[in-house]
């Protein structure tokens, strides 16, 4: 019995699951993690998390044994074994002690790479790597904590965006607060502005007045044209949603052309100005200028950014419905949602899809296609999706 109690977390998890007569898929459904991730944990290829251990103790009547096993494993492995683990931490230690570049510059390079690849990788897949690297940064900060405040804030913003895209709004809200606070302490107006702008853009269920205040702060704090562009984009989108057309149009008119061709989360790429313009004009019902902006945005949006492309096509579908071509608009919206792989679905995408349905009026609502489309919108594959392959960063919605 004592030997069993000292077995690794993964081994004990498999033993408890089998004793409960549950398959990996059944347990994954109960705890909200991907079954393939649980398989890797059981085989010792992934470390798991305290959150996972707690949930499995609850579902498998583990009486705390799984949590104890995880904590024991964690103490034996002080640094995460994900995305480089101890080896990566040692590498950063070598840079700090001997290399010419500062540890802050090294971590800024890491966050810049994440920001550039963010739209190219499904958020749920990126979150474990973000979390693991942020934990390494935190554990190796030491006397360089002040220098690392900017990359730490950038990590927090990226995690908040990933959680928002995965439908974990309450967890995202905590990370937005962390990102803003860390950015403010860093003294960098750039990341302080970006943190607020992205919260305005990435939040769909917050108080409008609060978001407007954050938008004003973002514009005030902006230090670079790309930060000002992001803040204006956030304001324009929010003002359109809140039904303030003249202010929204004015913000759009102030948008600069593309400044940064990298497409980084913290940059301002060529396809973004017409993308924001098309959103604002569509939401306001200005279909004429919306079509012009959509044509430009769809032509400039890179093919490897499928979610952005899908959101633009839903805007086009909404315009078609607003102009009375309900059949074509609904067909386009349905095809967009069906053809886009589930890993790219997000709350923002379904907000756009919902506006297409809301644009259908009168007797057109009796169309069979409307009923089918309404059912499709209820699907929402991101709901209940495991965040990443098991990271505890989001720790659920609570």
Note the pLDDT tens digit of each residue in 85-140.
Answer: 555 555 555 555 545 446 677 788 889 888 988 888 888 888 888 988 888 888 77
Residue 396 has pLDDT above 50, yes or no: no
Do the domain assignments include residue 55? yes
**What pTM did the predictor assign?**
0.72
* Dist CA 124 CA 240 (whole Å): 29
Residue 80 has pLDDT above 70, yes or no: no
Domain that holds residue 322: 302-381
Do the domain assignments include residue 349? yes
Do the domain assignments include residue 355? yes
Look up the CATH number of the domain holding residue 28. 1.10.260.40
Residue 34 has pLDDT above 60, yes or no: yes
Q: Read off the tokens for 333.
A: 């919206």
- The answer to whether the CB of 106 falls within 8 A of the CB of 95 is yes
- The answer to whether the CB of 202 falls within 8 A of the CB of 159 is no
Residue with the two structure tokens 């279909």? 287
Greater model confidence, 106 or 41: 41
Check residue 324 and give its pLDDT.
95
**DSSP-assigned letters across all residues of 172-192:** HHHHHHHHHHHHHHHT-HHHH
Helix (H, G, I), strand (E, B) or coil at 338: helix
Do the domain assignments include residue 177? no
Task: List pLDDT tens digits, range 213-271.
Answer: 999 999 999 999 999 999 999 999 999 999 999 999 999 999 998 787 777 899 999 99
Do the domain assignments include residue 101? no
Q: How far is CA 199 from CA 202, 204, 230, 379, in A?
A: 5, 9, 11, 26
The tally of CA atoms less than 13 A away on the side-chain side of residue 361 is 8
* Dist CA 345 CA 3 (whole Å): 45
Average pLDDT in the chain = 84
Report the pLDDT averaged over residues 2-27. 82
* Dist CA 332 CA 253 (whole Å): 29
Check residue 100 and give its pLDDT.
46
Check residue 316 and give its pLDDT.
97
Do the domain assignments include residue 217? no
| Helix boundaries (H) for 60-102 | 65-76, 85-98
**Domain-terminating residue out of 50, 76, 102:** 76
Check residue 337 and give its pLDDT.
93
Residue 26 has pLDDT above 60, yes or no: yes
Do the domain assignments include residue 109? no
Task: List pLDDT tens digits, range 286-328.
Answer: 999 999 999 999 999 988 899 999 999 999 999 999 999 999 9
**Domain-terminating residue out of 36, 57, 76:** 76
Check residue 336 and give its pLDDT.
95
Check residue 121 and give its pLDDT.
85
* Dist CA 392 CA 142 (whole Å): 24
Percent of the chain with pLDDT over 70: 86
φ, ψ of residue 306 in degrees (nearest 5):
-65, -35
Number of domains in the chain: 2
Do the domain assignments include residue 13? yes
Check residue 392 and give its pLDDT.
36
**Domain-terminating residue out of 57, 76, 95:** 76
Check residue 97 and give its pLDDT.
53
φ, ψ of residue 388 in degrees (nearest 5):
65, -155
Task: List pLDDT tens digits, range 147-183.
Answer: 889 999 999 999 999 999 988 888 999 999 999 999 9
């Amino acid at each position: 019995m004592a030997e069993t109690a000292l077995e690794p977390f993964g081994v004990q998890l498999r033993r408890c699951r089998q004793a409960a007569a549950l398959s990996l898929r059944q347990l994954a459904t109960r705890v909200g993690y991907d079954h393939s991730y649980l398989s890797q944990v059981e085989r010792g290829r992934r470390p798991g998390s305290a959150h996972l251990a707690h949930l499995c103790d609850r579902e498998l009547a583990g009486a705390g044994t799984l949590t104890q096993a995880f904590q024991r494993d964690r103490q034996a492995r002080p640094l995460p074994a994900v995305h480089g683990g101890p080896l990566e931490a040692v590498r950063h230690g070598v840079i700090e002690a001997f290399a010419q570049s500062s540890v802050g510059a090294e971590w800024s390079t890491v966050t810049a790479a994440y920001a550039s690849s963010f739209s190219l990788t499904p958020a749920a897949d990126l979150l474990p790597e973000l979390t693991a690297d942020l934990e390494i940064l935190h554990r190796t900060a030491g006397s360089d904590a002040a220098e690392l405040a900017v990359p730490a804030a950038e990590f927090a913003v990226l995690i908040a965006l990933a959680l928002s895209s995965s439908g974990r709004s309450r967890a995202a809200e905590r990370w937005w607060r962390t990102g803003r606070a860390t950015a403010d302490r860093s003294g960098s107006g750039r990341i302080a502005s970006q943190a607020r702008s992205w919260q305005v853009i990435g939040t769909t269920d917050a108080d409008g007045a609060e978001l407007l205040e954050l938008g004003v702060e973002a514009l005030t704090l902006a230090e670079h044209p790309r930060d000002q562009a992001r803040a204006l984009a956030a304001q324009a989108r929010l003002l359109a949603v809140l039904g303030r057309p003249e202010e929204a149009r004015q913000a759009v008119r102030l948008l600069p052309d593309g400044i940064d061709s990298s497409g980084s989360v913290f940059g301002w790429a060529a396809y973004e100005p017409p993308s924001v313009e098309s959103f604002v004009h569509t939401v306001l019902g200005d279909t004429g200028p919306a079509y012009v902006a959509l044509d430009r945005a769809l032509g400039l949006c890179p093919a490897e950014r499928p979610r952005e492309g899908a959101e633009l096509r839903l805007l086009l579908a909404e315009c078609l419905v607003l102009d009375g071509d309900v059949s074509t608009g609904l067909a386009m919206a349905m095809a967009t949602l069906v053809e886009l792989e589930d890993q790219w679905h997000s709350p923002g995408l379904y907000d756009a899809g919902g506006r297409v349905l809301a644009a259908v009026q009168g007797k057109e609502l009796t169309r069979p296609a409307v009923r089918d489309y309404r059912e499709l919108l209820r699907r929402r594959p991101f709901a209940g999706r495991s965040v990443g392959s098991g990271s505890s960063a989001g720790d659920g919605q609570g």
